[in-house]
Amino acid sequence: QQQGGCQIERLNAREPQRRIEAEAGYTEFWDSDDDQFQCAGVAACRNVINPQGLLLPSYTSAPALLYVLQGKGFQGIMIPGCPETFQSSQQSKEGQSRRFHDQHQKIRNLREGDVIALPAGIAHWCYNNGEQDLVLLIIEDTSNDHNQLDNNPRKFFLAGNPQQQQQQQQQKKQQNQGNVLAGMDVDTLAEVFRVDMETASRLQGQDDRRGHIVRAESDLQVIRPQRTREEQEREERGYEGRDN
């Protein structure tokens, strides 16, 4: 905190100040320059993800807490060095045409009331597989010791072209912005991923106009354990319906 940053004479309840639209949802930001947010050293935003909307993978320079205000979905959190423990079965793909044998890190279900801890620098993505909007409140602790940059909230996207969002956060500076791969040479990307130049160019997302929340072409297929009907019913009954 800057010297005298908490000399507040009056506190006011605040609404979000800016809204950034995307193909399958929008994000609203509270003004992180507001005195009370400056004093607390936090930044806040609210993501509204439409059904079949995918919040593109990103990470922040400060730790954050995410609260699910509404809806349901699932989330992938990529923790460096952790194994890909969700694996499609080799057996199940035999005999089926064009099934991909995929494996990835754990997928976590999201539902109303959940709090998710997001450590600084850990990338994550979210998908809305429900029938109503998935609404996420995110509070980023920019003054946390884990953030060694300044107190400005920074989001590093791994995909897409979140140009508009970043421009508005940065007082509409006219700069070319995009995901972190956009700042590398295309031939470097082709070499690093051993893909052709066209795919490497796609990674940069410079022609992508969908924003930071995109609509999945079809319902997203990921490997994750499904609840049985009994489990779902038990969950709906809640704690009161449990036997001792």
Partner 1 sequence: GLEETICSARLRQNIDDPSRADFFNPRAGRLTILNSLTLPILSFLQLSAERGVLYRNAIMAPQYTLNAHSIIYATRGEAHMQIVDHRGQSVFNERIQEGQMVVVPQNFVVVKQAGRDGFEWVALKTNERAIFSTLAGHTSALRAIPVDVLANAYQISRDEAMKLKRRRDESIMFEASARPRRETRA
Q: Which residues bind partner 1 (CB under 8 A)?
A: 54, 56-57, 59, 61, 76, 78-82, 84, 100, 102, 104-105, 107, 119-123, 125, 127, 146-149, 154-160, 166, 170, 175-185, 187-188, 191-195, 199, 202-205, 208, 214, 216-217, 220-223
| Closer residue to partner 1, CB minimum distance, 67 or 86 | 86
**Smallest separation, CB 207 to partner 1 (Å):** 9
In the complex, least distance from residue 11 CB atom to partner 1, rounded to whole angstroms? 30
As measured in angstroms, the least distance from the Cβ of 193 to partner 1 is 5
DSSP secondary structure letter of residue 199: H
Taking CA atoms, 62 is separated from 47, 49, 68, 94, 113, in Å, by 18, 22, 19, 44, 22
- Under DSSP, is residue 198 helix (H, G, I), strand (E, B) or coil? helix
Closest CA to 120 of 97, 143, 99: 143
Among residues 138, 157, 116, 142, which one has the least CA distance to residue 62? 142
Nearer to partner 1 (CB atom), residue 100 or residue 239: 100
By C-beta, is 46 or 215 nearer to partner 1? 215
What CA–CA distances, in Å, run from 50 to 24, 37, 97, 121, 232? 5, 28, 31, 26, 23
Q: Give CA–CA dist 162/186, Å, rounded.
A: 19
Select 183 or 241, whichever has its Cβ closest to partner 1. Answer: 183
Smallest distance, Å, CB 32 to partner 1? 14
> In 3D, which of 124, 28, 115, 109 has the Cα closest to residue 69?
115
Minimum gap (Å) between residue 240 Cβ and partner 1 = 36
The nearer residue to partner 1, 80 or 238, going by C-beta atoms, is 80
